[in-house]
Amino acid sequence: MDKVTCIAYLLYQSSKRQDIREKAIQLLNGDVSIRDLKRNPAFKAHLVLAESALRKNNIDKHQVQIFAEEFMLLEV
């Protein structure tokens, strides 16, 4: 899995807040960038925690794949 997909998954799983979950899905689909989220103080702390968890490799790749399959929008 690529870094952005893993971070989107971690953001989605780490919060019950709907706005953070929506941003995680937007990140997964490329509608918003990590840089954009870092500029927003409301999301920066969550993003730092997600990046930290990714560096520690505390992530289930199978769950990331399921998340991506469920929320990734494919345009044909």
pLDDT tens digits for 7-55?
Answer: 999 999 988 999 999 999 999 999 999 999 999 998 999 999 999 989 9
Q: Hey, what long-range contacts does 55-59 have (CB within 8 A, 24 or more apart)?
A: 59/6, 59/9, 59/10
Of the pLDDT bands very low, low, confident and very high (cuts 50, 70, 90), residue 73 is confident
Largest CA-CA distance found in the chain, in angstroms, rounded: 36
| 49 sits in which H/E element | helix 41-55
How many Å apart are CA 23 and CA 32, to the nearest integer? 7
- Report residue 28 as tokens: 């997964």
Q: Is the dihedral of CA 50, 54, 58, 60 positive or negative?
A: positive
